[in-house]
Amino acid sequence: MANKTYFWEGPFRFFFYSSDCSEPIHTHVENGDGEIKVWLSTLEVRHKKGNMRETDINKVVSIIERRYHEMVSIWEAQCSGEGGM
């Protein structure tokens, strides 16, 4: 199960797994403290592993809001088989 990195911003790596394409568009985000999974359309944290701080989660949500269209484009390219990350 390969993962695809959207981008790094600061200490955060934004990524998804190639097997995730059947799910709603989302991102996994990890830093040194843990990992979360966030639905892009609702900004809802769907899963949390480790001890990512609430302040970091708030930063992640801000980044997603700012880079939403970029992330959707990458997801669509990868999940339609067009991309080659």
> Cβ distance 16 to 47 under 8 Å?
no
Question: Of 64, 51, 66, 57, whose CA–CA distance to 15 is shortest?
Answer: 64
Question: Of 24, 21, 29, 19, whose CA–CA distance to 64 is shortest?
Answer: 29
Task: For residues 37 and 16, give the distance between their C-alpha atoms in angstroms, rounded to a whole number.
Answer: 9
Task: For residues 17 and 19, give the distance between their C-alpha atoms in angstroms, rounded to a whole number.
Answer: 5
pTM of the model: 0.88
Tell me the β-bridge partners of 35.
Answer: 30, 49
Tens of pLDDT along the chain (85 residues) come to 678 899 999 999 999 998 999 999 999 999 999 999 999 999 999 999 999 999 999 999 999 999 999 999 999 998 886 444 4
